[in-house]
Homo-oligomer: A and B are copies of this chain.
């Protein structure tokens, strides 16, 4: 039975936004995420996930989207609930439960600049020393991304509506952090049916232009065993 708590606790909504970009050292494409520098205590001066208090009059996802827009200028088309973090000691001095959303942004969405002096993009695997338990949250989100890409079509969220199989493979390689054999990848991805040919090809590029594919809307879930290159 639900009933009212007597004490006043805080509920925050935060968002992990992943985009794929080249790593500044290695040049290999890898997940990045935007962080916001805290301008007040607790953890003043540290970087944190974009977020804020749950708004009184907004559903959870709406509130996450609004606070993300306000703090970073980003408005990803799709936010999905990731997990609620609510350990007793995660915020000093008060009980704060944070409901965390995540978003995967496409190459063309990512092109928009983030907005604000205290907002920057970071290589997701390299961040540490964030405010609150946000190191744990980023790690959890990365683990979920790497697991989910192997059994669902979320890779499609990183490409444009029409894409080549090479572009899709690059998404898997960036997320999984390893090279995939192009022929095996092609065979597996076509066998599981989550993409379908558009009948069109990339124009004006080469003698044999690559075919363009799109998500197969009839295929809501797939399963893909990624084979490593030898």
Query: Chain A: residues with CB nearer than 8 A to chain B?
Result: 1-12, 14, 36, 38-40, 48, 50-54, 56-60, 71, 81, 83-84, 86-88, 91, 94-99, 131-132, 147, 150-151, 221, 223, 225
Contacts and interface: CB of A to CB of B under 8 A. Distances in A.
Contact of A2 (B14, B56, B58, B151): B14
- The DSSP consensus for interface residues of chain A is loop
Nearest to A100: B84
A86 B98 contact: no
A208 to B, nearest CB: 33
Nearest to A59: B87
Copies of this chain, complex-wide, total 2
Which one of A3, A9, A58, A99 has the greatest number of beta carbons of chain B within 10 Å?
A3
B5 A11 contact: yes
A81 B9 CA distance: 20
Contact of A51 (B1, B58, B98, B223): B1
Nearest to A41: B3
Nearest to A4: B10
Contacts of A51: 1-2
Contact of A12 (B2, B14, B54, B59): B2
Which one of A58, A94, A97 has the greatest number of beta carbons of chain B within 10 Å?
A97
